[in-house]
Amino acid sequence: DAGVTQSPTHLIKTRGQQVTLRCSPKSGHDTVSWYQQALGQGPQFIFQYYEEEERQRGNFPDRFSGHQFPNYSSELNVNALLLGDSALYLCASSLERGQVRQYFGPGTRLTVT
Partner 1 sequence: DAKTTQPPSMDCAEGRAANLPCNHSTISGNEYVYWYRQIHSQGPQYIIHGLKNNETNEMASLIITEDRKSSTLILPHATLRDTAVYYCIVRVGDLRNTDKLIFGTGTRLQVFP
| Smallest distance, partner 1 to C-beta of residue 16, A | 28
| Smallest distance, partner 1 to C-beta of residue 56, A | 6
Nearer to partner 1, 10 or 14 (CB): 10
Can you tell me the distance from the alpha carbon of 76 to that of 45, in angstroms, rounded to the nearest whole number? 13
Nearer to partner 1, 14 or 97 (CB): 97
| Smallest distance, partner 1 to C-beta of residue 20, A | 19
SS3 call for 28:
coil
Nearer to partner 1, 40 or 70 (CB): 40
Q: Is the peptide bond before 8 cis (omega within 30 degrees of 0)?
A: yes
Nearer to partner 1, 35 or 85 (CB): 35
1-35 as b/e: b if 16+ CB within 10 A: eeebebeeeeeebeeeeebebbbbbbeebbbbbbb
Chain CA centroid to CA 27, Å: 17
Q: Footprint of partner 1 on this chain (CB under 8 A)? A: 4, 31, 33, 35, 40-45, 48, 50, 55-56, 58, 90, 92, 94-107
Chain CA centroid to CA 107, Å: 8
| Smallest distance, partner 1 to C-beta of residue 44, A | 7
